[in-house]
Amino acid sequence: MITVRMNQWVERNLFWVIPLALVGGLFAFRGLSSWISLVPWLFAWITFAMALSCKASDIWEAFRKPKLMIGLFVVGHGLLALIGWLWGALLLGADSPFRTGLVLLAAIPFGISSIIWVDQAKGNRAFTLAIVVIDTVLSPITVPVVLSMLVHQQVEVPVWKLMNDLFVMLVVPTLIGVLMNEFTRGVAVQLTKKWIGLSTKVCFIFVVMINAAAVAPQIWPFRAVIPMLIPTLVSYIFIGYMSGWWIGKGESSFWRRSALFVGGMRNISLGLVVALPYFGPTVAFPVIVTILLQQPMATLMHRWVMRKEPFTI
């Protein structure tokens, strides 16, 4: 079937497709930036498609690894924030406002887009769904605590907007997908398997393009500092991925690949919501640039992990 072949082609070529989508979004920002309101619904469909092949027992199974989950929380938000503070001082200077942006990147919750990369890497989707939901729920506590400890700034996370996004993009689609799978005894998966995989890839490509288009106008005023900032951000994002990989040491690749992508990806939209009103555009700029770097870095990590380690459950 043509949709199956197209899906397989996209999977094989994600390493090139995602960067091309990013560049396309930057150049077509005038036409695409107005579509930003579609992003939560595109993510909702991706989450539903991932959850459709999960059972209720798979979700409970995700809590079999409390040490892995707690390790990702502590290292991903605590240790990584401290590394960001020190890394920023070393590479950007102790007085650089971009330092605060690095700390903010560690403080914000794990990214929803990690779900699709975990799926591509044959990791544990149920574990990824569970930890992203829990981390997002806890973010009104974790984000202010991390920022107050390291940058001595009191912030207030927009709880109602956060909960609304959480329900639209994660909770409701997950519940519907799992319940459909349970009630149909897997028939729903069989009926949709020929086209649903391709639909998630198309949705994700549009998410990448729309997000790139949305931030394109904000990059131009800071163009002079981009050559200095990008190496710092790339290395910092890489440390995030490797922290997840390190935390998953000793686990099977089914769990460790999940930890890799959860550790490296962040909810950038929440970072912007916090950064702009409390710190201004200068501090927010590393968060903005991370939108452009996070997905290409994920393609590199995906290629690396698929070649490095044979799959084991």
Q: Is the pLDDT at 312 greater than 70, yes or no? A: no
pTM higher than 0.85 for the full model?
yes
- pLDDT, tens digit, 9 for 90 and up, residues 166-183: 888 888 998 999 899 889
Q: One-letter amino acid identity for 216?
A: A
Q: Which domains does the chain have, with CATH numbers?
A: 31-308 (1.20.1530.20)
Could you tell me the two tokens for 146?
């991390």
**pLDDT in the model for residue 83:** 93
**pLDDT in the model for residue 301:** 93
Task: Among 2-6, 112-116, 259-263, name the one with the lowest average pLDDT.
Answer: 2-6
**pLDDT in the model for residue 266:** 92
CB pairs under 8 A, 24+ apart, for 279-284? 279/97, 279/100, 279/101, 279/104, 279/153, 281/218, 281/221, 282/97, 282/98, 282/222, 283/97, 283/98, 283/100, 283/101, 283/104, 284/101
Give the contacts of 189 (CB within 8 A, at least 6 positions apart).
Answer: 52, 53, 181
Instruction: Answer with the residue of higher pLDDT: 4 or 44.
Output: 44
Give the contacts of 197 (CB within 8 A, at least 6 positions apart).
Answer: 4, 7, 49
Q: Is the pLDDT at 35 greater than 90, yes or no? A: no
**pLDDT in the model for residue 313:** 63
Q: One-letter amino acid identity for 118?
A: V
The stretch 255-274 carries a mean pLDDT of 89
Q: Is the pLDDT at 117 greater than 90, yes or no? A: yes
Query: Exposed, middle or buried, 235 (CB in 10 Å: 0-12/13-18/19+)?
Result: exposed
Identify whether the C-beta of residue 238 lies closer than 8 Å to the C-beta of residue 275. Answer: no
Residue keyed to tokens 């020190």: 86
Instruction: Answer with the residue of higher pLDDT: 15 or 305.
Output: 305
Separation CA 108–CA 87 (nearest Å): 18
Mean pLDDT of the chain: 87
Identify whether the C-beta of residue 245 lies closer than 8 Å to the C-beta of residue 263. Answer: yes
- pLDDT, tens digit, 9 for 90 and up, residues 64-90: 888 999 999 999 999 999 999 998 888
Q: One-letter amino acid identity for 181?
A: N
With cut-offs at 50, 70 and 90, classify the pLDDT of residue 262.
Answer: very high
